[in-house]
A and B are shown apart, each in its own frame.
Chain A
Amino acid sequence: MSPRPGFVLDVDRSTPPTLFWHGERFSLERLPEGSRVIYAPEPIDPLKDPSVAIRAALNSPVGDTEPLPALLRPGMKLTIAFDDISLPLPPMERPDNRQMVIEQVLDMAADAGVDDVALIVALALHRRMTEAELRHAIGDRIYDAFAPNGLLTQHDAEDPEALVHLGQTDQGEDVEINRRAAESDLLIYVNINLVTMDGGHKSVATGLASYRSLRHHHNPQTMQKSRSFMDQHRSELHTSNWRMGQLIADRGVKVFQIETTLNNDTFPPSFQFLQKREWEWGAKDRLGYLAASKALDRTPTRYARQIFHSVKAPHRMTSVQAGEVEAVHKLTTDNVWAQQGVPVVGQTDILTMGLPYISPYNVNSILNPILVACLGLGYLFNMYRGKPLVREGGVLIMTHPTPWEFNPVHHPSYIDFFEQVLSETTDPIEVADRFEESYATDPWYIHLYRTGHAYHGVHPFYMWYWCAHALQHLGGVIIVGGDQDAVHRLGFRAASTLSDGLEMARDVVGPSPTLTHLHAPPILMADVQ
C-alpha cells in the first residue's frame, strides 16, 4: 500500500481530541467544531539500497559537471564540507546520511590517489560539535582516521587566517568563506535537506561563511521580504545566497554538491502515535500515549528532556542527487515537497501549533524562550508556500512551557540577549540597529564560540530576525502553558489553557473565528491557495 498524502481534517462532533506537543510533554485537546487539522503525508518509501543510489548519483551527476571519479586526481587538494548538528531533527539513527555519502566519496578519492583530503563541519555561527556528536554524524571510522591528525576541523568564522574574502556581489554583499574550502581544487558539500530552506547555494554561502558575509542576508529587512524563507522563489534570503553562490563559482571555486532527502518517519516505534492521525489510533497507540504521558507527568522535566534528546529518528534516505548546485537543488526541493507538501485551501483567523522539545539550535540542549519564539514564529509559521496559513492580523497560539531557562554552555549570549535586549525592545529592526554589533563583536562570546560549544554572540539576533515576518504579519501571539514572565519578555501573551487562549484570541480576531491546527512534527509544508 502506498503512503497516503497529507490531509486536512474538518473537526466535527465525532472527531477525537487532537494531540498537542507541549515541550517535553503532550496533551490531547478538543478543538472547536469546524476547526481544521493539517496532517503531514505518511512517510514515503525510502531508497531500497542507499549505497547503490549514492554511487549512482556520484557517477552520473546532474547539471554541467563530470562524474565525481573524473574530478579526482592525485596531488589535488580536496575538501569535504558537511552539515552540522542542526540537521536532521531529531538526529537520525546510525548510519547518518552524511556518513554513508562521505564514506563513498572517500573511497573514490582513495581509488584516485588523492591524499590531501580535509573534512570541515559547515557550522557557520553555530556551536562546535562534540566528539560524540561528530562520531554519530560521520561514523567512528572516518572520525578516527581524520580527527587525530587534525584533518577534521570545524569551520571557525572568527579566525581571520582561516577565511578568505572572495569579493562583493553586484548588490555590494561581501562574500567571505572558509579559506581551505575556497582554495581547494574541489569542494564537495554533503547535506541533509530536511526542509526546503536548506541546501543549494545556501550550503556553502552560509555554512562556510563569516559574520561579515552573513549579515547581508541574516537581518530583519531580508527576513521580512522572505515570504516565506521556505519558498526559495519568494525568499530574499535565498536570492542573496544565490548571488553569493554565483560569485563563489565565478571566483573559480569548484563545488560538487551532494544533497540527500529523508522521509518523515520521525519517531521510533514506541512513539509511533505521535505521527499518526488520532482517529486511527489503535489499542497499542492509545496504550503508548497513556504510558508515555503518565510516565512523563511523573518525570522531572530535566530527565524528560534527557530522554527525548536521546531519541534517534528512524528517518530513511529517500533520494540522493549530486553534481552542479542549482540542478541538484531543484531535484532535491521536488523530493522534499513530495514528502512534506499538503494543499490547503484558504487562510485561517487562528493558527494553533504544539511546539515540541527540539529545534535546529537545541540538539542535546534546552529550548530556551528565544528558541521557542523562533521555532513557532520562525520555522513553523513559515512552513507555507503561497500565503501564510493564518491571515494578516490573525493570531498564533502555541503550546509550550517556555521556562526561563538557558543552557550556559551552548547559549551564553542568549542569556544576555534575553536580559538586556528584549527587556528594552522586541522590534527586530530596533534590536538590530541598537544591539547587534556589540554582541557580534564581543570578544568573550567570540572566545566561547571558538574554544567551547557556544553559539556565536550574534546568533540570538538571527533567531529573532527569523520571527520578523511573522511579527509583522500577526495580530497577536499567545503561548498556552508558558511561563508568564518569559512569555511577556518575548512580547507575547500567556494563557493557562487552550480554551483561555482561544478566548483571548477572539478579542483580536472577532467572535466566531476560523481555526487551523498545524499537526507537526512530522514536518509538513502547507501549499496555501
Chain B
Amino acid sequence: MTRVRQALAGKQFFITGSTGFLGTALVERVLRSVPDSRVVLLIRPGRRATAMQRATREILKNDCFDRLRQQCGDRFDTEVASRVSAVAGDVATDGLGLDDDGLQKLSESDVVVHSAAAVSFDSPLDSAVEVNLLGPSRVAAAVVTATQRAANQGRVGPVHFIPVSTAYVAGTHQGEAREELLGGSRFSIEVDWRTEVDAARRQRGDTDAESRRPERLAQFSKDARGELGGAGLHLLAERAERLREDWVKKQMVRVGQARAQSLGWPDAYPYTKALGERALVSQFGDTVPMTIVRPSIIESALAEPRPGWIRGFRMAEPIIVSYARGLLREFPGVPEGVTDVIPVDLVVAAIIAVAGEALLDTGEAYRGPSVYHVASGVRNPFRYGRLVELVQSWFTEHPLYDSDGQPIVVPAWSFPGRGRVQRQLSRASKAMDLAEKVVGSLPIRGRQAAWMAALEEQHLLADRALGYVELYGAYTETEARYRVDRLMALWDRMDADDREVFCLDPAAVDWDSYVRDIHLPSIIEHARVRTAPGKSHQPTRSERSRRAILSPDRHLASFDLENTLIASNVVDSYAWLASRHLPATERAAFVADLLREAPALLVLDRRDRGDFLRSFYRRYEGAPADRLRDDGWELFHHLLLAKSFPAGFARVRQHRALGHRTILITGALDLVVEPMRPLFDDIVCAHLGEVDGKFTGRLEELPPIGEARALLLADYAEAEGLQLEESMAYADSASDLPMLEAVGFPVAVNPEAKLAAIARRRGWHVEHWHKADGGAQPVLPLGPVDRRGSLGRGRTSAAALSGAARRTAAGPSR
C-alpha cells in the first residue's frame, strides 16, 4: 500500500456539496480508491425526501457510480450501506443545522471537505454571500464544536479541513498568481468581509421594499396582463407576484455583479469566494488545520470514473451547444489567451492527495493554512484560439441537425472584442422585443401564433447568448496565470503507485484529444440534441405527449368550444339566428350594423369576457324562445358543423371511447350547444332567463368562463371522483388559463399568440386543428333567406319542425 492510500485507509470523510459535480466525483473516488474509507454527506433535506433519500437518488444513482457498481456486482448495495451515510444540514445556516447525530458523525470524521458552493455565475448577491462567503466559516465553526465534542469523548476528532475555493479568487488581472493566501498578494483590495455581509443582507431588504412600491406593483400587474391577457384575477396575481420575485432576484444579481466588478472581480462568484477565504482564515486559520484547494474551471473527466463523465451543464457547455446550434455567431475572447480548464478527476485526485498528506504523520507541526491551485494554465497551457479551432472542426465533422434533419453549419469565430459582440446581441434582442410586441398585439392564432412563440424562443436564446457573453466573456479574456508550484511539489512527493491512482498532473491532459474525443462527445450526449440527419424515427415530443393524453389511465377531458372545436363565436351565432327570419330587404341594414359594431365588441371581449357576454346576450331580449330553440338546430347543422374542426370532434369521441369522461364548458348559450349534447357526457353552458315564452336577455347565472370554469371543473371532478392531475383541458386562448392550469394535461388548440408562448414555455401539448376544406364557407354568418311564400313568416319551417320531432326521439339516445 502506498502513502496516500495508507494514510487514508479506514478513515471517514465528511463532505459537503456532494450533490454537485465535484462532490459526486469526490464521493465516488473515495469509495472506489480509498480502502475501507467511509463518507458522511451533508445534504439539505428536500420537501419530500430525507437526506439519505436524496443521497441515494441524486448521488448514488448517478452514472458516476456505474464503474463502482460493476466492480462490486451484487455487493454494491451492502457496500454502500455500510460506507455511506447522510446527515441533514445546510451550509447556509449557522451551525450547519446539524442535529446531535449529525454533529456526532462530524466529530467522528477524520477529514472534512467543503465543496458546497453557489457556483452559478449569476447568483443573487445575498445567496452567494450566505453560501460562498459565510459557508466555509460555518463549516469550520462546526468542526471546532465537533472537535470539542470528540475531546469530551476522549477522541481526536477531525484532523484536517479542506475548503474548495476557486483559482479566480486571485482575479483575472494580467500576471501570475501564486498559491498563497489572499491579503498578502498584490491582487487583493482590502475590504472588510463583515461589512460586505451586512450590506448584502440590507440590500435584499431594500430591493424587496423597492419592489413593493405601488408604481412597481402596478407595473408587475400590467406586465402580467400583457403576458396572460384576461386570464382571471387569481392567475394574474400569481403571475404578478412571480414577476416581482424575479425582479428582486434580477436586481440582486445585478447588484452582486456591480459590487464584484467595482472591486476588480468579474462577478459575484469569485468575489464571494475570495471574501469567504478571508473570513475563514481570519477566524479559524489558527484553530482549524486547513488546506485550501483552488481549482480553475472544472470540466468533464479525463479518465476517472470514465473519460467524459460530467454532471450538469456547467460553464462552457451551454456556450458550446449554443454555438453548435448556430445560435451564437460570435463570442469574444483573445485567441492567444489561455483557457484555464481542468478535468474533474484531477481536482478530486488533488483533494485526496492533500488529505492523504495531511493525515500522514510526518512529525511536522501544522504551520497554518496553505493553498493549492489545481489549474492547467502554467503547466499545460491551452490557448483559447486552439479551443475554438477544435470545437469548430469537430462540429464541422459532427454537425448537429435541425428539426428538419438538415445539418447546422457552425460559424467561424472572428474573436471580436467583447463590446462589439455585446452591442450586436443587444441590438438583435431589442429588435426581437419590438417584433414580439407588434405581433403579440395582432389577433393571430394557430400556426402563426406558434411561429410567434418560436420568435419568442429565439428572443430568449438571444438574451441567453447575451447573458453568456456578459457573464463568461471575462473568463475568456483572462490573462492571469495560476502557478502550480506547490501542486507539482505534492505530485513529486507522491510515489509511483499513488500517481497511478490519483493523477493530478495537469500535464497529463492532451488538449486536442481531450476536446475531440472526450469532452465534446460527452456534452453532446448530455445536450439531447439531434446528431443524426433525416427525419427522426423516434416519436416526436408532440407524439409522446399525445400518447400520454390518450392513455386509458386518464380521467376527464374538458373542452372549450369557440375556436377550440368550432371556428365560430357568440357573435356569429347571434348574427345567424337574428337574420334567419329577417326579410331580404332588412338583411343589408342588419349586416351593416353588426359590422360597424364589430371592433367595439372585440375590444370589450378582450377586456372582460364576462362583461362582454352579459352585455351581448341582452340582444336576445324579447326573442321567442321556442322558435330560437328550433333555429338552434338549423344553426348547428348549417353553420357550426360547417365551421367545426373534425379532428376536434374526433378527439372528443376518442376520449369517450377510452373511457374518459368528457365535458364541454362554454359561455355559449344552451340553445346553441344543445345539438352537441350527444357528443359529450356533460355540457355546462350559459342559460338565458325566459318569461312568457320570450327570452329576458339576462343570464340566469354567471357564465362558465375564466376562473369560474376552473372552479366548476374542480367541483365536477370531485363530485364524480375524478382526479384533475389525470385530466385534460382543451382551450385556445390565454383567458382559458385557469381551466388549463387546473389539470395535469393541458392542451392548447390553435392557440392565440399569448397562449402559444405560454404553451411553448411550459411544454404543453399543442394541437393544430382546422376546418374541413370541403364545407360551405359563407363570408358572413347569415341564416338562409326564409322562403315560406304562401304560409307567411313566423311559422316554423318544415325542416326545423321535423328536426325538432327527430330531436325528441334522438334526445335520450346518446
Q: Is A461 an interface position by the 8 A CB rule?
A: no
Q: Is B780 an interface residue (CB 8 A)?
A: no
A contact residues around B810 at 8 Å (CB): 446-447, 450-451
B772 CB within 8 Å of chain A: yes
**Chain B nearest CB, measured from A32 CB (Å):** 35
Q: How far is the CA of A326 from the CA of B64 in the complex (A)?
A: 88
In the assembled complex, A154 has its CB within 8 A of some CB on chain B: yes
Whether A412 lies near B646 (C-beta < 8 A) is yes
Q: Is B476 an interface residue (CB 8 A)?
A: no
Interface residues of B in 773-814 (CB under 8 A from A): 773-777, 784, 787-791, 795, 797-799, 801-803, 805-807, 809-810, 813-814
Q: Is the CB of A144 within 8 A of B791?
A: yes
Find out whether the CB atom of B678 lies under 8 angstroms from the CB atom of A408.
Answer: no
Tell me if A307 is interfacial: C-beta within 8 Å of chain B: no
Q: Nearest residue in A to B633 (C-beta to C-beta)? A: A451
Chain-A contact segment, one of B169-177, B545-553, B634-642? B634-642
A416 & B798 in contact (Cβ 8 Å cutoff): no
- Is B383 part of the binding interface, using a Cβ–Cβ cutoff of 8 Å? no
CB distance from B641 to the nearest CB of A (A): 5
- CB-CB under 8 A from B787, the residues of chain A are 131-132, 135
Contacts of A159 in B (CB 8 A): 806, 809
Residues of A within 8 A of B775 (CB): 406-409
Asked if A444 contacts B774 (CB within 8 A), the reply is no
A443, CB-defined interface residue at 8 Å: yes
Give every chain B residue within 8 A of A411 (Cβ-Cβ).
774
A403 at the interface (CB under 8 A from B): yes
A444 touches B653 (CB 8 A): yes
Interface residue from B649, B776, B777, B814 paired with A443 (Cβ < 8 Å): B814
Instruction: State whether the Cβ of B339 lies closer than 8 Å to any Cβ in chain A.
Output: no
B798/A409 in contact, CB under 8 A? no
Total interface residues on B, using CB and 8 Å?
41
Which A residues are CB-close (under 8 A) to B637? 409, 448, 451-453
Kindly name the residue among A135, A409, A415, A443 whose own CB sees the greatest number of chain B CB atoms within 10 A: A409
Within 8 A of B (CB), among A129-148: 130-132, 134-135, 140, 143-144, 147-148
- Is B675 part of the binding interface, using a Cβ–Cβ cutoff of 8 Å? yes
A150 and B774 contacting across the interface, CB-CB below 8 Å: no
Bound Cα distance from A451 to B806, whole angstroms? 6
Q: Is A12 an interface residue (CB 8 A)?
A: no
Tell me, in angstroms, the Cα distance from A140 to B788 when the chains sit together.
9
B13 → A minimal CB distance (Å): 61
A419 at the interface (CB under 8 A from B): yes
Cβ of A443 and Cβ of B678 under 8 Å apart? yes
**Closest chain A residue to B795 by CB distance?**
A148
Cβ of A7 under 8 Å from chain B? no
Give the chain B neighbours of A13 by CB distance below 8 A: none
Cβ A131 vs Cβ B653 within 8 A = no
Which residue of chain A has its CB nearest to the CB of B799?
A131
Q: When the two chains form their complex, are residues B772 and A408 in contact, meaning their CB atoms are under 8 A apart?
A: yes
| Chain A: minimal CB distance from B202 (Å) | 65
A302 within 8 A of B: yes
Quick check: is A168 within 8 A (CB to CB) of the other chain? no
Contact A451 B675 (CB under 8 A): yes
What distance in Å separates the Cβ of B629 from its nearest Cβ neighbour in chain A?
A: 13
Query: Which of B649, B777, B784, B802 touches A154 (beta carbons < 8 Å)?
Result: B802
Minimum CB–CB distance from A216 to chain B (whole Å) comes to 24
Inter-subunit contact A153/B641 (CB<8 Å) = no
A144 touches B774 (CB 8 A): no
Give B774 Cβ to nearest chain A Cβ, in Å: 4
Number of interface residues, chain A, beta carbon within 8 A: 45
CB-based contact B650/A416 at 8 Å: yes
Whether A408 lies near B641 (C-beta < 8 A) is yes
CB distance from B675 to the nearest CB of A (A): 6
A405: contacting residue among B773, B802, B806, CB under 8 A: B773
Contact B774 A156 (CB under 8 A): no
Q: At the interface, yes or no: A109 with Cβ under 8 Å from chain B?
A: no
Q: Which residue of B lies closest to A302 (CB)?
A: B777
| Beta-carbon contact of A365 and B774 below 8 Å | yes
Residues on the B chain within 8 Å of A399, using CB: none
| Cα–Cα, bound, A148→B789 (Å) | 12
B790 touches A409 (CB 8 A): no
Q: Does A255 contact B (CB under 8 A)?
A: no
Say if the beta carbon of B644 comes within 8 Å of chain A. Answer: yes
What chain B residues lie within 8 Å of A412 (beta carbons)?
Answer: 641, 646, 649
Mask, A411-444, CB within 8 Å of B = 1, is 1100110011000000000000000000000111
Known: A144-B790, A412-B646. A406 touches B806 (CB 8 A): no
The reply on A161 being an interface residue by CB < 8 A is: yes
Q: Is B771 an interface residue (CB 8 A)?
A: yes
The listed residue (B772, B776, B813) touching A406 by CB distance below 8 A is: B772
Residues in B neighbouring A444, C-beta threshold 8 A: 649, 653, 678-679
The reply to whether A451 and B807 form a contact with Cβ atoms under 8 Å apart is: yes
Residue A368 CB within 8 A of the other chain: yes
Distance of A156 Cα from B808 Cα, bound (Å): 13
A366: CB under 8 A from chain B? Answer: yes
Contact A404 B806 (CB under 8 A): no
Cβ of A54 under 8 Å from chain B: no
Q: Say yes or no: is A152 at the interface (Cβ < 8 Å to chain B).
A: yes
The smallest beta-carbon distance between B546 and chain A, in angstroms, is: 14
CB distance from B110 to the nearest CB of A (A): 68
A407 touches B795 (CB 8 A): no
From B675, B772, B784, name the one whose CB has the most chain A CB atoms within 10 angstroms.
B772
Q: How far is the CB of B800 from chain A (nearest CB, A)?
A: 9
Between A143, A368, A415, A444, the greatest number of chain B beta carbons within 10 A of the residue's beta carbon is seen for: A444
29 contacts between A and B (CB under 8 A): A131-B797, A131-B799, A147-B798, A148-B791, A148-B798, A152-B798, A156-B806, A161-B809, A365-B774, A403-B774, A406-B772, A406-B773, A406-B775, A407-B642, A408-B641, A408-B644, A409-B642, A409-B775, A442-B653, A443-B678, A447-B813, A448-B641, A450-B809, A450-B810, A451-B633, A451-B806, A451-B807, A451-B810, A452-B637
Q: Which 3 A-B pairs have the closest CB atoms?
A: A147-B798, A405-B774, A452-B637
Kindly list 9 other residue pairs between chains A and B, CB separation below 8 angstroms, not including A150-B802, A452-B641: A132-B787, A140-B790, A144-B790, A150-B805, A159-B809, A405-B772, A408-B646, A446-B810, A452-B675
